Amino acid sequence: MDYDLLAIDLDGTLLDTQHALPLANREALHRAHAAGLKIVLCTGRAFAETRPVLAQIGLDLDATVTVFGALVTDVATGRTLERTSIPLDVALAVTAWFQRDGFPVLWLTDPDEAGDDGFVLAGPRRHPAVDQWIERSPCVVRNLAQLPEHCAAPVRISIIDENNVLEHVSARLRAAFDGRLTHNVLHAPPYRLSLIEAFAPQVNKWYGVEKLCGRWGIDPRRTVAIGDDVNDVAMIRNAGLGIAVANARPVVQAAADRVTDTNDACGVARVINELFSAVPEGGTGH
């Protein structure tokens, strides 16, 4: 084996289109873990939204990269290992910028620092999916009319609306905050909504993976990354081996070293089984 760490996206990659964990993927993860490979779930979800998948996998994993790389969390304790927040002055400025167009603004904070997952600031342009997310998400957020006097800097700021609206806002956001923020326009399959997610400028999933490589003494070239969406591009491009599932967006496939099967056809299991095809059962692979 030439690899020590496997970084896997969740929605559209490890999980199928019904947002379930296929048995073949679960069994492959167990095989890889038994062989000594570090398995890291890398997702735009918050840690609270990642816990159900961890439970389904049923392994004692060491850490997760969540909130697009803004948080690295110790799985056993739920405590934050690394946090990269949006600078408070930038967070306040982009919040005011969104509010001028009437959007409710979702502030996601690190509960390890702030005590909860954040809040939603009221706005007249409140898409029904905002309340749908609040109702369905395990994140604990408050509905507020205005910013609290003292608040922790957010790890993510989001707005929810129709995709065509968000694409237009994205172009303006990029021009207004170039160099001060990074952001993605995404569809969140579990909630059936589209959103803009904004982060500190250095944040991406690969940034979180590199944090773990440093902690664990792993050469970043000895990593495998698998994903499907635009927020996986940096991770796939920089990993020692970057793989796109066949249902990935074209930009993701273009960044990958190779393409595996779709998420519904258990592309993750195929990758793992191919990586370990020459490793004897019970071997370390190293």
Q: 150: domain CATH number?
A: 3.30.1240.10
Q: Does the pLDDT at position 256 exceed 60?
A: yes
Distance CA 107, CA 93 (A): 13
Q: What is the pLDDT of residue 150?
A: 85
Position 175 scores a pLDDT of 97
Beta carbons within 10 angstroms of residue 123's beta carbon: 17
Q: How many domains does the chain have?
A: 2
Q: Kindly state whether residues 77 and 104 are assigned to the same domain.
A: no
Mean pLDDT of 109-121: 94
* Interval 24-41 mean pLDDT: 96
Question: Mean of the pLDDT values across residues 164-184?
Answer: 96
Q: Do 170 and 218 reside in the same domain of the chain?
A: no
Instruction: Name the residue range of residue 92's domain.
Output: 88-199
| Residue at token pair 């021009």 | 175
Cβ-based neighbour number of residue 199 at 10 Å: 27
* Residue 49 identity (one-letter amino acid): E
* 71 located within any domain: yes
Are 93 and 79 in the same domain?
no
Nearest to 75 by CA among 111, 109, 50, 108: 50
Report d(CA 112, CA 116) in Å as an integer: 8
**Percent of the chain's residues with pLDDT above 90:** 92
